[in-house]
Amino acid sequence: ESFARAVEWLGERGLEVVQLELPKLAAEAQLRSAAQVAASAKATPGSGIAVVLLQGEPVENAHERLVGGDHRLSAVRALCEQVPVDMLFLDPAGTAAEAEFLEIEASCRPLRWIVVNNANLPGHAGWVREHLLGLGGEWAEVL
């Protein structure tokens, strides 16, 4: 439901949106194909903005990745290999998103903007804010 609302909201503002829905446990070929679709996204005329919304698991088997046991291609890495990502909107659904953010941080350079939603809720991604601010002046908080 929130995915459809995001597509609608962006569309109302005149932005073209490429929607990617990933199947659970997507194979590497499926991930690379989705990344190629994202790479073909055209910027909305006059705005210079191309929007790609990803629905699904950006990083499968997150726990195994955190402990070093899963090195398969993730949707995040596949996408960032094809598309320069300038801004990330991180809105994990009731999770701290450790594996996802660490994959983003490693694969999506250079990231210039990171928006962390629900940073004030326990068990969500508030730690990302603290992590970025602790990098010694590399990041700044905008309220």
How far lies 130's CA from each of 40, 59, 67, 100, 139, in Å?
34, 22, 22, 16, 10
Report how far Cα 99 is from the mean position of its chain's Cα atoms. Answer: 12
Pair of tokens at residue 130: 């603290």
State the Cα–Cα distance between residues 50 and 45, nearest whole angstrom. 10
**pLDDT tens readout for residues 17-75:** 888 887 777 778 888 888 888 888 776 676 666 788 877 766 665 556 556 665 677 77
Residue 123: pLDDT band with limits 50, 70, 90: confident
Question: Residues 63, 92, 55, CA angle at the centre, nearest 5°?
Answer: 95
**pLDDT tens readout for residues 66-87:** 566 656 777 778 888 888 788 8
Give the pLDDT of residue 62. 59
Q: What pTM was estimated for this model as a whole?
A: 0.69
Of 37, 64, 62, 32, nearest to 50 (Cα)? 37
